[in-house]
Structure formats: C-alpha cells, structure tokens
Amino acid sequence: MLKAAWDLVESPVGPLMTVVDGEGRLVRVWFGNDWAGLGMPAAERDAARCAEVARQLREYFARQRREFDLRVAPAGSPLQQQVWRQVAAIPYGETRSYGEIATRVGGAAVARAIGRANGANPIPIVIPCHRVVGADGSLVGYGGGLAVKAALLRLEGARLASLGQLPLDLG
C-alpha cells in the first residue's frame, strides 16, 4: 500500500497543504505550509498523486467550480461524520447556522458538539465549514481565520452583513 502523499497548492488565501491517503482519498487540507507537530502519518511529497485535488481547488478559486468531485476520507467520530455530511450539502454561496445543522443532526442537545465537529473538520473548503455561521448570520470561528472565512464567502457571492467588516477580498 502506498504511503500518504502531500503537496502545496497556492491560493488567494495563502498556501494550502493537501494530503491524500494511500488510496488517493483526500484526508487533510491545512492552511499554511507547515504541518510539523500536527500528528500526520509519514507522507511523501508527490504532486502527481495530489494533482486532482490541486486542479479542483484552483478551479474553485477561479470561480469555475461550485462543487468538488473528490474521494474524501475525513477521520472523525460518527457524530463528526454526520455533521460533515450536513455541511458538505450546503450549496455554494449559501450559509446555514450551527442551530440549523444541530436540528438536522440531533436537535438542541448536540448544539455544542456541532461547533466542535465543525471546528475539527480536516478538509476545509472541500467540506465547506466556512458556510456555517452564527444564528444571527455572524462569522464565528474558522481554522483559517475569520478574514479567510469572509473571503471564501465573498468568492461564492454569499450575502451577509458581517462580510463587509473583515478584510481580504478575493475579487
């Protein structure tokens, strides 16, 4: 079996480190280019094995792709997997609140767990956790930072009053 492979993709929000497993499934996207100490298994840099991920990310940033067609294998608990499926179903340019996701997954009893699961999403952008906002439409929490979250939502044409309050416009 092949080892995991990684490569860097330049993007308008900075470098993205992508990781595919031995079967070619996307398992991680990190903002930045340093994964030291992040608990990743041994991997080798291999642009060819990561080429499809890079192509689709570039198309997304060029506004030529609204949905990703990648095999993904995010590692997480059953609840996290359920949350990520709900998040992946949010259409391009739209948002859902944490409460709306909680209602679909298990009601108010899991509301806090929804935020934690969204924050633990190992494949941001592809599993579009940037589309999850506060109940009042406010931008809350994002692994890449709120400016990046705002930039991704602007790129998609999302309409939120809070978008204008943060820098980094992708054009």
- 148/139 Cα distance (integer angstroms): 11
Q: What residues have CB less than 8 Å from 159, skipping those under 6 apart?
A: none
91: alpha, beta or left? (left if phi > 0; alpha if psi -120 to 50)? beta
- 120/146 Cα distance (integer angstroms): 16
Output the CA–CA distances (angstroms, integers) from residue 161 to 40, 121, 139, 165, in the order listed.
38, 25, 10, 8
Angle between helices 98-105 and 78-88 (to 10 degrees): 120
Residue 129 a catalytic site member? yes
Candidates 129, 132, 150, 152; catalytic one:
129
Asked if 92 and 46 count as a contact pair (C-beta separation under 8 A), the reply is no
Known catalytic residues are 129
